Structure 1
């Protein structure tokens, strides 16, 4: 696999227009030969359309939170530095995701369950 670094200008534009945060895929993670500028995909973020029905966004969010042990188990056999997804999944921080606004259905789930103040 070969990682292509994102251009600094593109990262800055995505951050200013959409709130998406820049990140670094650190050297050695997923066998990256060097640090790779990219978007910060930590915290198990899922990108959805803003016209997704609220009930569907809420359901997806509930699955991600309530079935997190099952999701984590699929990656725990991999050393952390080789895992494509990080663990443990923390419902108190996963909603911070990419830095983009939460879908209203997801936000309501987090708020109703005490994960979002």
Structure 2
């Protein structure tokens, strides 16, 4: 079963959810605010996605900006960054779709076509 990690009030997450439903793709939904990904999950998802760690940060989020992370992240170790991401779901870019060895971060319909 695919895991769809989202924040229900996020418009991008809503678009992604609608796309999944319209394409008949089954998934288990997880509210990132209620159940934040653990550092271990984030490490695994990063490995499977092949993305750089920065792509997992919600750089347009209010919390990211208020903490001044654009200046702090470059001097932080990967372990520190994973630990930070695991503290609050609002720091994590969403939606995240986990389908076996495929992990998609953010919603771009053209990238998600591989799920069909």
Which bin holds the TM-score, normalised by the shorter protein? under 0.3
Question: Which of 1 and 2 has higher RCO (CA within 8 Å, sep 6+)?
Answer: 2
Question: Which has the larger strand fraction?
Answer: 2
TM-score normalised by length of structure 2: 0.26
Question: Which has the larger helix fraction?
Answer: 2
TM-score normalised by length of structure 1: 0.26
